[in-house]
A and B are shown apart, each in its own frame.
Chain A
């Protein structure tokens, strides 16, 4: 848990300050310096790509973009999931049954294909990626939050609030929601790698982040096209992506065990 956290912190700090330490930027091309292998010469630590752009800076940019998309998308899913789950759990009865039946239905859908459909139908932009990824990741959150809300609903402080005439909406957002914090934090840690996965999958297929911006998925895609001559273009972003995903998964798992959250209510 500590190790994963430390790795993530290191990657994050590197991604933020890294580009400033390099004399290169992410979009200037240099046709005299294409496909240079990693090393200290010319200060291209990770080498250059087929357009002569510095891969160290591009990888750092990729990490930033990937993490940004993942965090914002997870926040979107958090807002939807917590609201939905808390309402279903608190209101209960038939409303709850219908709402959770709807979630079950959505579970059966191949969401990733819908996201691709969305990307095809509309102009590809950042905002859409956030919303699309957030919209597919809220289901788990909704289930967990509902389960937790069911038990919170019976607690004295909620009864007290109800008896003093506090409105349902206010009870849900002021009394129930804050008490869900622990679980929500654990699950966000597990949602972030899923969001990273979706974003990099889309970018890998050429449907996500567009040039000259980049993300780790887009870098892996570019690396695949050059892998026979320039294997570093594939291996470096692939390794970084794997490292980030593994750290998040280990961290999330450890936190779940630590807080002892049941996966299925």
Chain B
């Protein structure tokens, strides 16, 4: 476990170095696209943001700030630091992501289990076709189409975010985010549940007269959940990517929106900071999943 923890550090370091180099290898500086500045003014700006220093020195400065949780000033949002912007956007994205993940697990696992129990039936085929559709259609297609249908045409739910209160504004963004994950988890659950239900210990349980429900709950569910658990890492990454789209479509002031705005405005420090933040988040959540996996399936520890 400690080894895994130590293994995550070089990964994170790799991310930081790569991202930093990419931004600084960019042709032209961040302030180039505005009107031409007098040379001394340009030099002053360069000096103010330490862009006149050699690259290694800039990197050391950035790393030193990073260790203190300081990601530098934003180039476009005047008077804000990148850390402040992340602090204001992330809680919203976190809410969305956590709700979507919970929904995806709940619906995905239950529909996958049902499909596995009724393998080959009409219900199974319907669930699996729906799942394939859910996997294929990207979030940025589902989101606007749902808005058009449920918010603009039928007016059941709010289309936007600001000015809305209560739970209603969460419904569409969370469903949109969760759909592809529901589909994926349902497929995974069905496949592994079918595998597990074919095992000897399930046959033994059945021969002892246990009912289907008890077998699923007591014996089959836990081993069948292992593939789903190992999918959690990619799922978290996918949901994070999804929040970028969902926040853009629904006008939610979360981290994803800052990221896209930053990207379009060439706000280098902001984009760099958010990439590093996302990477750190994904790497640590992957670590948590790994450790959980060891607890749930002790066989893994022996490897």
**Which residues of chain A have a CB within 8 Å of any CB of chain B?**
105, 108-110, 112-114, 116-123, 193, 197, 200-201, 204-207, 217, 220-221, 223-224, 227-228, 231, 234-235, 238, 241-242, 245-246, 249-250, 253
Residue from A113, A114, A193, A238 whose CB has the most chain B CB atoms within 10 Å: A113
A205, B137: Cβ atoms closer than 8 Å: no
A241, B141: Cβ atoms closer than 8 Å: yes
A249 with B279: in contact, given A117-B22, A205-B248 (CB under 8 Å)?
no
**Which residues of chain B have a CB within 8 Å of any CB of chain A?**
10-11, 14-15, 18-19, 22-23, 25-27, 132-133, 135-138, 140-141, 144-145, 147-148, 152, 233, 237, 240-241, 244-245, 248-249, 259-260, 262-264, 266, 268, 271-272, 274-275, 278-279, 282-283, 286
Q: Please, how many angstroms separate the alpha-carbon atoms of A110 and B16 in the complex?
A: 12
A114, B145: Cβ atoms closer than 8 Å: no
A114, B136: Cβ atoms closer than 8 Å: no
B272, A117: Cβ atoms closer than 8 Å: yes
How many A-B pairs have beta carbons closer than 8 Å: the answer is 117
Contact for B144 among A105, A117, A234, CB less than 8 A: A234
B136, A242: Cβ atoms closer than 8 Å: yes
Contact for A114 among B138, B140, B147, B275, CB less than 8 A: B275
CB neighbours of A206 from chain B (8 A):
264
Q: Please, how many angstroms separate the alpha-carbon atoms of A116 and B248 in the complex?
A: 15
A117-B22, A204-B245, A227-B144 provided; 19 other pairs, C-beta below 8 A? A108-B11, A109-B11, A109-B15, A110-B241, A110-B279, A113-B278, A114-B22, A116-B275, A117-B271, A117-B275, A118-B22, A120-B268, A193-B136, A205-B260, A220-B141, A227-B148, A227-B152, A245-B136, A245-B138
The smallest beta-carbon distance between B206 and chain A, in angstroms, is: 29
A108, B286: Cβ atoms closer than 8 Å: yes
The smallest beta-carbon distance between A190 and chain B, in angstroms, is: 11
Q: Please, how many angstroms separate the alpha-carbon atoms of A253 and B266 in the complex?
A: 40
CB neighbours of A235 from chain B (8 A):
145, 148
B140, A204: Cβ atoms closer than 8 Å: yes
The smallest beta-carbon distance between A152 and chain B, in angstroms, is: 26
A249 with B136: in contact, given A116-B271, A238-B144 (CB under 8 Å)?
yes
Residue of A nearest to B148 (CB): A227
B140, A217: Cβ atoms closer than 8 Å: yes
